[in-house]
Amino acid sequence: MAERTALIVIDMQRDFCAAGGYAAQAGLDVTRLTSVVSNISLLLDAARQAQLLVLHTREGHVPDLSDCPPQKMARSIHAGAAIGSVGPMGRLLVRGEYGHDIIDELSPLPEETVIDKPGYGAFYQTALQEILQDHEIDTLILCGVTTEVCVHSTLREAVDRGYNCIVVGDACAASNPALQQPALDMIAVEGGIFGSVATAAAIAATIYPVTNTTEKTAYAN
C-alpha cells in the first residue's frame, strides 16, 4: 500500500484552527476544527513510519490578493472575516503571515511538501497533480478541515483525476456539526462514487501495523 499511497493533510492552519484566525473571525467554532488533531497526529506518525508520501495544504492568497476572486472576497466580507484584513495573527488568509501557517502540533517535517492553494480544492492552480504523478501515486488518504468544503473539494478533484480516495472520517471536521455526517455519507453513494470512509485507527493500523509494544514505545520516544 505504501509505495503508491499519499497522505494529504488539508488546511490545518492557524487561520482555521486558532482563536483570532479567519475561521474564528467568521464565527466558526475552532474547537470543533481542532478536535481532530490527535487523530491526524496518529495518521502522520503511521505514514512517516511507513514512508508514505506526506503532503500538507494551506489555503491562502498572495499579499496583493490578485489570486482571490471578487466573489470569494465578497463572501469573506459578508462572513465578517475579510480576506487580507488584519487580525491578531496577521492578515487573514495571506501567505507568509503567522496565521497562514500550519499549527505547531501538526508541523510538517522538512522533507514534507506544503501545497499553497488559492482555492478550496488542492489541485486548483497548484503542482499537486505533478507531484503525485512523479511519485506514481494512485491512492490518496485525506484528512483535515473542513469536511464539507476543502476536504470534499479536493476529494472530488482527485476522483475526477482517477485516484482511489479514502477519507478518514474521524480525522476531518466540519464547520457545523450538522454537516459532518452528511458530507461523509455522500462519499459512499452509488457504490462508493467518491471512494470510502475509514477511521484513523484502522488506517494507521493498515499502513503501519505495530506488532509489539517495544517497537511502539521506541517510536513514541
Cell of 179: 454537516
Q: Is 11 a catalytic residue?
A: yes
Among 208, 221, 164, 160, residue whose Cα is nearest residue 8: 164
Strand ranges, E, within 35-105: 53-59, 86-87, 90-91
* Catalytic site residue from 17, 116, 117, 170: 117
Helical packing angle, 200-207 and 37-49, nearest 10°: 10
Amino acid at 140: L
Q: Which is catalytic among the residues 17, 68, 143, 150?
A: 150
Q: Which one from 11, 15, 116, 170 is the annotated catalytic residue? A: 11
Give yes or no for a contact between 68 and 22, defined as CB atoms under 8 angstroms apart.
no
Which grid cell sits at 178?
Answer: 450538522
Does an H or E element contain 130, and which?
A: helix 128-134
104 is catalytic: no
Is-catalytic flag, 134? no
Q: What is the CA radius of gyration of the chain?
A: 17
Distance of CA 121 to the CA centre of its chain: 10
Q: What residues are labeled active site? A: 11, 117, 150
